[in-house]
């Protein structure tokens, strides 16, 4: 992209383009740490256990797809000075209705899932201590207090430490199982073994693909990147995020292929599959490696918890602000997005109300089975979110809402269209798999 000056949403010239530099990296680390959850790693392990290295190519394509999708979200925020929800709202009231229902229902069920996932490795590390429900509540309360009392800069530092732990542990375990380098390179050749289609689509679309991708632009603003002069920096940051995610996926595929494929070990689906893997690692490499892996499991789960507590609460605060915009909120809605606006949102009543919603009502689900109707509604709304994100970004970034210089080129349009198609197929499959 040429280093020409752009104009902000207010028509004022943006400052000169910043040189992309590693010292600026931050929001990408946050989105990578948040987007890779324990369930994602288990899905990747199961793909490796069933098909060995054969689907390595799908992991690489998935990484490229996510880079394109997150870049589009960040580009919208920087090029227009508007938030993603502000853009959605300009497409019509249907986006507001969908997001309102989705964010409330999703937060209720996700809160319980995130707390349970963070508690599982603690219970495994301290089997003689309190049970799962106790630790789930403790992790939820710690996440609430951490996000409530800290600002973005501290949040980013803690997320960097957590993803550092995740990275070291996952790569260490992959190295311990001694990967077959030749087979892993052979896996870069696109092949679809019998019965692998759904696993392939899941690898491309699943890991790191959640509502937190939409939160990326909000973290970009919270970092202080507020106009198109930060575009090069954002793009470097985004690539770091999804290359890091790609390393996690490849490492877990290696573990699945080497440790589980040959011995035909079956893992429990969902977060508990990592407990199964911990037992396999203990049998093969000893208690030290198993405990180290459980620490990495905790870092994976807890980083997703506090990432959602922070990022989706920012989105909800913006949603409420835009919903009120016609009168007193109009000035705020036209305010150029940046660190000051993000700081104000983090102190706002809607931000804190959604934090409480993520924490306390979901605790009831720790004692109750999820009601059938709630599971169905959650599944349908959640399956629709990623196609909703991809296709609305395609719409926004090809319209007059985006300054001409920063609209999509053919590569961006191709990648977003591919993402949209992929996520529509996954959406249909997820809906079909629900317990109707």
Q: Specify whether the CB–CB gap between 303 and 159 falls below 8 A.
A: yes
What tokens appear for 275 in the block? Answer: 């407990």
Q: How far apart are alpha carbons 258 and 279 in whole angstroms?
A: 15
DSSP state letter for 129: S
Token pair of 430 as six digits:
């997820």
Residue 80, number of CB atoms within 10 A of its CB:
23
C-alpha to C-alpha distances, 46 to 43, 259, 274, 289, nearest whole angstrom:
5, 11, 11, 20
Task: Check whether 371 has a pLDDT greater than 70.
Answer: no
Q: Is 15 helix (H, G, I), strand (E, B) or coil?
A: coil
Least Cα distance to 205 among 399, 40, 37, 434 occurs for: 40
Residues with Cβ within 8 Å of 406's Cβ and at least 6 positions away in sequence, in order, are: 6, 75, 78, 79, 80, 228, 231, 397
Residue 156 confidence (pLDDT): 96
- Between CA 387 and CA 203 the distance in angstroms is 16
pLDDT greater than 80 at residue 113: yes
Distance CA 114, CA 226 (A): 31
pLDDT reported for residue 15: 57
Higher pLDDT, 335 or 58: 58
- Cβ neighbours of residue 250 closer than 8 Å, sequence gap 6 or more: 56, 59, 174, 184
| Rounded-to-10 torsion of CA 34, 39, 44, 48 | 150
pLDDT of residue 16: 66
CA-to-CA separations, 317 to 77, 183, 343, 344, 375, in angstroms, rounded:
16, 48, 11, 10, 25
CA trace torsion 265, 270, 133, 121 (10° rounding): 50
How far is 294 from 96, CA to CA, in rounded Å? 40
Q: pLDDT value at position 420? A: 87
pLDDT at 297: 92
How many CA atoms within 13 Å lie on the side-chain side of 12? 8
Q: Is 35 exposed, middle or buried (0-12, 13-18, 19+ CB in 10 A)?
A: buried
Identify the pLDDT of residue 336: 61
**25 or 155: which carries more pLDDT confidence?**
155
Predicted local distance difference test score (pLDDT) of residue 275: 86
Of 406, 36, 32, 70, give the one whose Cα is nearest residue 207: 36
pLDDT of 13 above 60: no
Mean pLDDT of 136-147: 97
Task: Write out pLDDT tens, residues 315-344.
Answer: 999 999 888 865 434 334 445 677 788 889
Read off the pLDDT of each residue in 51-59 and give the average, rounded to a whole number.
Answer: 89
For residue range 256-307, what is the model confidence (pLDDT) as tens digits? 888 887 666 777 766 778 888 888 899 989 999 999 999 999 999 999 999 9
User: Would the pLDDT of 3 be above 60?
Assistant: no
Structural element, H or E, at residue 359 = helix 349-359
**Tally of residues, the chain:** 436
pLDDT tops 50 at residue 99: yes
When the pLDDT of each residue in the chain is averaged and rounded to a whole number, the result is 85
Asked which of 191-195, 251-255, 317-321 is least confident by mean pLDDT, the reply is: 191-195
What pLDDT is stored for residue 369 in this prediction?
A: 63
Give the mean model confidence (pLDDT) for residues 158-166.
95
**Buried (b) or exposed (e) across 384-407, using 16+ Cβ within 10 A?**
bbbbbbbbbbbbbbeeebbbeebb
How many CB atoms sit inside 10 A of residue 348's CB? 18
Separation CA 386–CA 388 (nearest Å): 5
Residue 171 pLDDT: 93
Q: Phi and psi dihedrals of 348, rounded to 5? A: -80, 160
**pLDDT confidence of 390, banded at 50, 70, 90?**
very high
**219-231: average pLDDT:** 93
Nearest Cα residue to 101 out of 362, 378, 312, 358: 378
The span from the CA of 36 to the CA of 271, in Å, is 12
**Worst-scoring range by mean pLDDT, 3-17, 157-171, 283-297, 390-404?**
3-17
Convert the pLDDT of each residue in 417-429 to its tens digit.
988 888 888 788 8
pLDDT score at 224: 92
DSSP symbol at 130:
-
SS3 at position 7: strand
CB 177 within 8 A of CB 259: yes
Res. 372 pLDDT band, cuts 50 70 90 = low
Of residues 295 and 16, more confidently modeled? 295
Residues whose CB is less than 8 angstroms from the CB of residue 97 and which lie 6 or more positions away in sequence, other chains included: none
What pLDDT band is residue 206 in, cutting at 50, 70 and 90? Answer: low
Q: Shortest CA distance to 258 belongs to which of 204, 169, 195, 183?
A: 183
């Amino acid at each position: 992209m040429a280093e020409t000056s752009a104009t902000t949403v207010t028509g004022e010239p943006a400052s000169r383009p910043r040189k992309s530099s590693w010292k600026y990296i931050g929001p990408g680390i946050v989105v990578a740490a948040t987007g890779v959850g324990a369930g994602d790693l288990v899905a990747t392990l199961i793909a490796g256990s069933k098909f060995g290295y054969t689907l390595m190519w799908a992991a690489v394509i998935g990484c490229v797809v996510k880079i394109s999708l997150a870049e589009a979200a960040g580009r919208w925020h920087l090029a227009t000075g508007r938030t993603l929800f502000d853009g959605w709202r300009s497409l019509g009231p249907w986006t507001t209705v969908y997001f309102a229902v989705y964010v409330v229902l999703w937060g209720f069920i996700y809160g319980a899932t995130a707390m349970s996932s963070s508690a599982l490795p603690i219970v495994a590390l301290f089997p003689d201590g309190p049970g799962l429900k106790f630790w789930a509540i403790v992790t939820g309360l710690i996440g609430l207090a951490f996000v409530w009392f800290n600002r973005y800069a501290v949040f980013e530092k803690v997320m960097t430490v957590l993803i550092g732990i995740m990275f070291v542990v996952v790569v260490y375990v992959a190295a311990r199982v001694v990967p077959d380098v030749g087979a892993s390179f052979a896996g870069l050749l696109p092949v679809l073994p019998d019965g692998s289609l759904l696993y392939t689509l899941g690898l491309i679309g699943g890991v790191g693909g959640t509502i937190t991708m939409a939160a990326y632009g909000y973290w970009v603003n919270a970092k202080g990147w507020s106009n198109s002069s930060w575009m090069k920096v954002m793009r470097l940051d985004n690539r770091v995020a999804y290359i890091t995610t790609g390393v996690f996926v490849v490492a877990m595929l290696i573990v699945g292929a080497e440790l589980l494929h040959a011995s035909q070990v079956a893992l429990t689906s969902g977060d508990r599959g990592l407990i199964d893997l911990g037992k396999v690692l203990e049998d093969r490499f000893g208690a030290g490696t198993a405990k180290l892996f459980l620490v990495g499991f905790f870092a994976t789960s807890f980083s997703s918890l506090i990432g959602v507590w922070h990022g989706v609460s920012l989105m909800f605060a913006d949603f409420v602000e835009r919903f009120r915009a016609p009168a007193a909120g109009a000035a705020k809605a036209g305010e150029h997005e940046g660190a000051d606006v993000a700081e104000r949102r983090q102190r706002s009543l809607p931000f804190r109300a959604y934090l409480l919603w993520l924490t306390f009502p979901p605790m009831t689900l720790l004692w109750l089975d999820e009601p059938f109707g709630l599971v169905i509604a959650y599944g349908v709304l959640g399956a629709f979110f990623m196609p909703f994100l991809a296709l609305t970004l395609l719409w926004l970034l090809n319209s007059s809402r985006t300054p001409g210089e920063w609209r999509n080129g053919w590569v961006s349009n191709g990648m977003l269209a591919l993402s949209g198609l992929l996520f529509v197929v996954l959406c249909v499959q997820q809906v079909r798999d629900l317990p109707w």
